[in-house]
Amino acid sequence: MPEGDSVYLVARTLDAKLRGTRVRRSDFRVPRHATADLSGRAVLGTVSRGKNLLTRFEGGLTLHTHLRMDGSWTVLSPGKVLPRRMEPDIRVLLATTGGPGLADGAPGPTAVALTMPVVELVATDAEGDVVGHLGPDLLGDGWGEGGAEEAVRRLAARPERSIKVALLDQRNLAGIGNLWADETCFLRGLHPSTPVGEVDLPPVVALAARMLRHSVTVPGAYQVTTGDTRRGAQHWVVGRAGKPCLRCRTTISVEAEVVGDPERRRTWWCPRCQPAPGSAGARGAAVGPGL
């Protein structure tokens, strides 16, 4: 599943290329909205909310999409078309007029949603129905207005839960995926199964927010947690099963995901830097920043 920073960057691309354009043709290839037509409506913009995308249109309509594991948005320049082999994957097509550098009425970019598992048209004033359950967005404008404190409060509400599961729960804080959960746990010296009640939560939340914001704002830093952009050295533990820890040289462990169990995702950790709860070496102390 895409991480929150991935979705944020998709939203930024859609917003930059579609905002201010007008839909000249829409094609929804999902049963629920097969007859929907957005033709003539101006595109007001696109924002992300955790791992959700909200594209707003003139007239009070919002297109809610969620990439899940394999969904994607592609924006084609005027006159460009998708390869024919990709036609079966199209779920939404929005052909526009106008746009940056283009005259009103001139053919504009075409946005195409591919293999999109979640496609919903909702009233803009009812967006809360589809994203209102989410916790504070680590990349949202309101994060600095009590977002971190609210995230800590929500995480602490279930002290028996493992820290990784709690971090992945979008109802606690929105935007953390598997990569950021495992890398955050490593950098805080926490075994992923450590109960929330044994964790100093404010530093964990602050670190996660800092890493995601670094990922989307610093050129070349996208999803690099070690500060080293060389292949194989970009992450502390994720994807490094069987390889030596970049800090202590202990072999990195991995636990496979359990299909159908959202609380049993594939998990990487260093047995020495992140000792299991209750073990002699367990400490829950940070092993140092990676950014």
- Predicted pLDDT at 281: 62
In this structure, whether the domain defined by 4-132 belongs to CATH 3.20.20.60 is answered with: no
Q: Closest Cα partner for 148 from 128, 130, 175? A: 175
Could you state, in order of their start, the residue ranges of all structural domains in the chain?
Answer: 4-132, 147-269
For the segment 62-103, what is each residue's pLDDT rounded down to a tens digit?
A: 999 999 888 999 999 998 999 999 999 999 999 999 987 777
DSSP string, 109-158: EEEEEES-SEEEEEEGGGTHHHHTT---BTTSTTIIIIIHHHHHHHHHT-
Give the Cβ contact number of residue 143 at 10 Å.
20
| pTM exceeds 0.85, yes or no | yes
The fold of 147-269 is Helicase, Ruva Protein; domain 3 (1.10.8)
Marked catalytic residue, from 3, 49, 136, 265 = 3
Question: Looking at the predicted structure, is the pLDDT value of residue 291 above 70?
Answer: no
Catalytic-residue membership of 3: yes
Catalytic-residue membership of 2: yes
- Predicted pLDDT at 100: 79
Question: Looking at the predicted structure, is the pLDDT value of residue 192 above 70?
Answer: yes
- Predicted pLDDT at 217: 96
- Predicted pLDDT at 101: 75
Question: Looking at the predicted structure, is the pLDDT value of residue 251 above 60?
Answer: yes
Catalytic-residue membership of 80: no
For the segment 133-190, what is each residue's pLDDT rounded down to a tens digit?
A: 999 999 998 898 899 999 999 999 999 999 999 999 999 999 999 999 999 999 999 9
Marked catalytic residue, from 49, 51, 91, 164 = 51
For the segment 28-43, what is each residue's pLDDT rounded down to a tens digit?
A: 999 999 999 999 999 9
Partnered with residue 55 across adjacent β-strands are 46, 63
Residue pair 24/95 in contact (Cβ under 8 Å)? The answer is: yes
Catalytic-residue membership of 164: no
